């Protein structure tokens, strides 16, 4: 009987099929033989007219640099099972129309691995390999996985119901609990270390020693049985450049024994280096049940380096508890150096902090975040239950925190909106829970041309507890009005700050002011234990702030030179 794939070839689709892999990405090995495999074949020698009937046959017959074409099969035929381990430079390609977005019942090239072979992965990558246009469903572990496989390209695949065995995957590196908070519970030995576990990802690439580029593009990973969507991890001495373009991850689920669930995860450990570009990706409906879900997650530890650029990202609807976030950028331990830039992106609708810049190391890590033209909005955790006792990780739009010691932590916000959050609009927090670990080194923020309004707590909170070498904060041409608990709450409660400078206008950091302050709550600004320069701002009326609009406790604020009218385009 002529199978579905052969009927497509007979209908004249062979030239279109060959065009699918005629021009592979640079770096893939050229030439080689082409083999064919079909879930509806009975027996064959791997030709287009007599394809293999199993992935094992194609794997055994093929050599490095060859192409393996999976022919479309009807929905009534079971997918090709057993998984396949690729050889260097091979191309594994699904024939026919694109599988991403394909209508139900249409013949498509489908594979899986329900066995323990290859640890349950449907596709095992090799250096320079390509995986294109496959439907991968219900594998025992990962859909596509590779370790030390530079030059790989994974594009246009539909990956679903992965990790049915609930194998452990991405481990968020250990950090101190409670992180930086001077909390002592009778009968409980605090602080202690904790590591958060995730299920194996639908698509995952690891580096241990290799150097090179991996590309993960135009894939959809969805409805995971037990685990993450797409993860890239650099460890050991590896150096990876990861390009993640136009991927869609949705409806990820975690197992009962897992503490975290990531739509897209990045990690650097050891002495590794990871440079990542995430462009036009989407994460929606992430996590299930009571879980720490994350839309985009970047984690650093040890002596590693991570640099990531995120552009035109869309995150919406994260499920879970108070620590579920749209974007979390976190150093766990050691002295890694990292920077993360987010541009032209939106992160909305999640219980916990929408965007986190979290430095938890007690050994002196450097972590820098930049937000430019970003929207962070609508958290749902009832933050009023814990504020102001623990004003971190409970529903702020943007949180930048150093909760360790010796750290350099910075946040730059430009043209960014932080609104409709149950916590603060923007929180800047430095704490040292264990004085023996020493002070934090530097905490800084620079906010310009931004809208930070309509949040249930303070629109801007600055809190320092413990010794801090330098605190530099600058705010200019930004709207801080209409905060449920005021425009700004600024507090230095314990320890010393070697070089404090908070410039909201007319201070030593060069802010021109032009901010809109006050609104829904009185007092509009509270300052405790520190001085703030806040000249040349609009205080809701054409003169100095109204009586009671500013409250000073063991601190001071300079509000001279108040504007006579609201700055155009800001308020």
pLDDT tens across 211-225, in order? Answer: 999 999 999 999 999
For residue 187, what pLDDT is reported?
Answer: 53
Report the range of poorest mean pLDDT among 18-27, 69-78, 278-287. Answer: 18-27
Reported as a single tens digit per residue, the pLDDT across 51-99 is 999 999 999 999 999 999 999 999 999 999 999 999 999 999 999 999 9
For residue 243, what pLDDT is reported?
Answer: 98
Which alpha helices (H) appear in 42-165, and where do they start and end? 55-61
Distance CA(415)–CA(447), nearest Å, equals 9
Confidence class for position 30, pLDDT limits 50, 70, 90: low
CA distances from 354 to 32, 309, 310, 340 (A): 49, 18, 15, 16
Confidence class for position 455, pLDDT limits 50, 70, 90: very high
Report the range of poorest mean pLDDT among 109-118, 123-132, 510-519. Answer: 510-519
**Exposed/middle/buried for residue 236 (C-beta within 10 Å: 0-12, 13-18, 19+):** middle
Number of separate domains in the chain: 3
For residue 408, what pLDDT is reported?
Answer: 97
Reported as a single tens digit per residue, the pLDDT across 312-367 is 999 999 998 888 999 999 999 999 999 999 999 999 999 999 999 999 999 999 99
Cβ pair 338, 309 in contact under 8 A? no
Evaluate whether residue 162 is within a structural domain. Answer: yes
Evaluate whether residue 304 is within a structural domain. Answer: no
Evaluate whether residue 388 is within a structural domain. Answer: yes
220 shares a domain with 104: yes
More confident residue, 325 or 174: 325
For residue 289, what pLDDT is reported?
Answer: 76
Q: Decide if pLDDT at 190 tops 60.
A: no
Residues in the chain: 571
Mean pLDDT of 98-116: 95
506 shares a domain with 476: yes
Q: Decide if pLDDT at 255 tops 90.
A: no
162 shares a domain with 227: yes
Q: Decide if pLDDT at 4 tops 60.
A: no
498 shares a domain with 545: yes
Report the range of poorest mean pLDDT among 42-46, 120-124, 160-164, 474-478. Answer: 42-46
101 shares a domain with 61: no
113 shares a domain with 42: no
Confidence class for position 518, pLDDT limits 50, 70, 90: confident
Taking the complete model, does pTM exceed 0.85, yes or no? Answer: yes
More confident residue, 542 or 155: 155
Q: What is the mean pLDDT of the chain?
A: 90
Show Cβ contacts of residue 428 under 8 Å, excluding neighbours closer than 6 positions.
400, 401, 411, 443, 445, 460, 461, 462, 463, 473
356 shares a domain with 283: no
Q: Decide if pLDDT at 186 tops 60.
A: no
246 shares a domain with 140: yes
Q: Decide if pLDDT at 20 tops 90.
A: no
Confidence class for position 192, pLDDT limits 50, 70, 90: low
Distance CA(301)–CA(207), nearest Å, equals 15
Show Cβ contacts of residue 150 under 8 Å, excluding neighbours closer than 6 positions.
127, 128, 207, 210, 211, 212, 213, 214, 240
Evaluate whether residue 336 is within a structural domain. Answer: no
CATH number at residue 247: 2.160.20
Evaluate whether residue 264 is within a structural domain. Answer: no
Per cent of the chain over pLDDT 70 is 90
101 shares a domain with 66: no
Confidence class for position 193, pLDDT limits 50, 70, 90: confident
Q: Decide if pLDDT at 520 tops 80.
A: no
For residue 314, what pLDDT is reported?
Answer: 98
For residue 114, what pLDDT is reported?
Answer: 98
Domain boundary among 71, 89, 119: 71
Structural domain range at position 446? 352-569
Evaluate whether residue 222 is within a structural domain. Answer: yes
Distance CA(13)–CA(23), nearest Å, equals 17
494 shares a domain with 450: yes
Evaluate whether residue 5 is within a structural domain. Answer: yes
Q: What is the CA radius of gyration of the chain?
A: 27
122 shares a domain with 15: no
For residue 543, what pLDDT is reported?
Answer: 85
DSSP-assigned states of every residue in 76-108:
TSPPB-S-EE--TT-EEEE-SS-STTPPTTS-B
Evaluate whether residue 545 is within a structural domain. Answer: yes
For residue 172, what pLDDT is reported?
Answer: 86
For residue 438, what pLDDT is reported?
Answer: 83
Q: Decide if pLDDT at 180 tops 80.
A: no
For residue 435, what pLDDT is reported?
Answer: 63
447 shares a domain with 560: yes
Mean pLDDT of 392-402: 93
């Amino acid at each position: 009987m002529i199978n579905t794939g052969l009927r497509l070839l007979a209908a004249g689709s062979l030239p279109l099929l060959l065009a699918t892999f005629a021009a592979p990405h640079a770096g893939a090995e050229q030439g080689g033989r082409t083999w064919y495999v079909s879930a509806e074949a009975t027996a064959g020698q791997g030709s287009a007219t007599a394809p293999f009937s199993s992935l094992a046959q194609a794997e055994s017959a093929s050599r490095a640099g060859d192409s393996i074409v999976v022919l479309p099969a009807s929905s009534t035929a079971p997918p090709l099972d057993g998984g396949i381990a690729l050889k260097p430079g091979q191309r594994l390609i699904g024939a026919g129309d694109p599988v991403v977005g394909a209508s139900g019942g249409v013949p498509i090239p489908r594979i899986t691995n329900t066995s323990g072979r290859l640890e349950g992965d449907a596709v095992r990558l090799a250096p320079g390999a390509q995986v294109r246009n496959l439907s991968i469903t219900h594998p025992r572990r990962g859909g596509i996985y590779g370790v030390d496989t530079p030059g790989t390209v994974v594009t246009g695949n539909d990956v679903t119901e992965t990790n049915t065995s609930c194998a452990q995957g991405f481990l968020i590196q250990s950090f101190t609990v409670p992180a930086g908070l001077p909390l002592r519970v009778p009968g409980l030995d605090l602080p202690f270390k904790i590591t958060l576990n995730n299920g194996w990802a639908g698509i995952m690439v690891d580096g241990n020693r290799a150097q090179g580029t991996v590309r993960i593009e135009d894939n959809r990973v969805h409805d995971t049985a037990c685990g993450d969507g797409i993860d890239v991890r650099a460890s050991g001495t590896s150096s990876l450049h990861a390009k993640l373009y136009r991927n869609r991850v949705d409806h990820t689920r975690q197992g009962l024994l897992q503490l975290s669930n990531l739509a897209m995860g990045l990690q650097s450990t050891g002495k590794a280096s990871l440079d990542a570009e995430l462009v036009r990706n989407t994460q929606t409906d992430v996590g299930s049940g009571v879980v720490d879900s994350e839309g985009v997650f970047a984690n650093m530890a040890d002596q590693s380096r991570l640099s990531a650029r995120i552009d035109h990202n869309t995150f919406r609807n994260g499920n879970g508890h108070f620590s579920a976030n749209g974007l979390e950028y976190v150093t766990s331990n050691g002295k890694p150096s990292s920077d993360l830039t987010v541009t032209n992106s939106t992160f909305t609708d999640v219980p916990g902090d929408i965007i986190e810049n979290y430095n938890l190391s007690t050994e002196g890590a450097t972590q820098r975040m930049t937000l430019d033209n970003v929207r962070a909005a609508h958290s749902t955790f009832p933050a009023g239950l814990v504020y102001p006792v623990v004003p971190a990780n409970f529903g702020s739009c943007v949180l930048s925190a150093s909760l360790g010691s010796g750290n350099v932590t910075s946040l730059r916000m430009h043209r960014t909106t932080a609104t409709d959050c149950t916590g603060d609009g923007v929180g800047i927090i430095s704490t040292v829970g264990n004085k023996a670990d020493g002070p934090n080194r530097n905490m800084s923020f620079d906010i310009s041309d931004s809208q930070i309004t309509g949040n249930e707590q303070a629109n801007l909170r600055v809190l320092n507890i413990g010794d801090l070498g330098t605190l530099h904060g600058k705010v200019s041409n930004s709207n801080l009005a209409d905060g449920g608990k005021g425009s700004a709450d600024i507090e230095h409660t314990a320890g010393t700050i070697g070089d404090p400078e908070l410039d909201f206008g007319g201070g030593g950091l060069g802010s021109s002011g032009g901010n809109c302050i006050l609104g829904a709550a009185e007092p509009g600004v509270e300052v405790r234990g520190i001085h703030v320069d806040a000249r040349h701002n609009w205080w809701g009326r054409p003169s100095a702030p109204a009586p009671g609009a500013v409250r000073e406790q063991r601190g001071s604020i300079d509000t001279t030179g108040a504007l006579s009218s609201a700055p155009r385009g800001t308020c």
